[in-house]
Amino acid sequence: MAGKNKNKGKSSGNVAAQNRRARHDYLIQETIEAGIMLLGSEVKSLRDGKASIGEAYATEEHGELWLINAYIPEYSGASAFGHEPRGKRKLLVHRREMGKLLAAQQRKGMTLVPMKIYFNDRGIAKVLLGLGEGKKHHDKRQSTKERDWDRQKSRLMRDKG
């Protein structure tokens, strides 16, 4: 019986795409990990780190969860029949989790925002979704003030200590 190959999935744990503005634009209250259905050329393009999820969001259609407006460019080494760069991609979530997320989304007017796409330790692509409500302009200013104050405190402690 052959042992497992330790080097299999050598790029596992890598973040393929990250939405850095998600925590700035939304007050994230809960996060959930979801699988994503991809074609081979999409996976290769993700491994190259060329994807962008800054304008993406997740929504429910016909009882399924979909990732909309995520940009995964065509892989240069793929044949002429690649994939659609801004196409809809199905997200794989347990039915109970999806029901809970959609209930919170409809009840409180929240949004499902993809925070990052990464490969887990087995080399499988996953999406970290955040359930959050959009911040108002004054909320963004308040969080910016708090962040600046934290930086000043750490700077003062570093200089004096």
Q: Is the pLDDT of residue 72 over 70?
A: yes
Which comes out higher in pLDDT, residue 34 or 107? 34
Q: What architecture (CATH level 2) is domain 15-156?
A: Beta Barrel (2.40)
Out of 58-62, 108-112, 114-118, give the one with best mean pLDDT: 114-118
pTM: 0.71
Look at residue 80 in the predicted model and tell me its pLDDT: 64
Domain extent listing, the chain:
15-156
Q: What is the mean pLDDT of residues 72-88?
A: 74
* CA 142, chain centre distance (Å): 25
Q: Is the pLDDT of residue 1 over 70?
A: no
Joined together, the tokens standing for residue 16 give 């393929």
Structural element, H or E, at residue 9:
none
Smallest Cα–Cα separation from 132: which of 18, 35, 23?
23
Q: How far apart are CA 56 and CA 111, in angstroms?
A: 11
Q: How far apart are CA 55 and CA 119, in angstroms?
A: 21
Eight-class DSSP state of 53: -
Query: Sorting pLDDT into bands at 50, 70 and 90, what band is 81?
Result: low
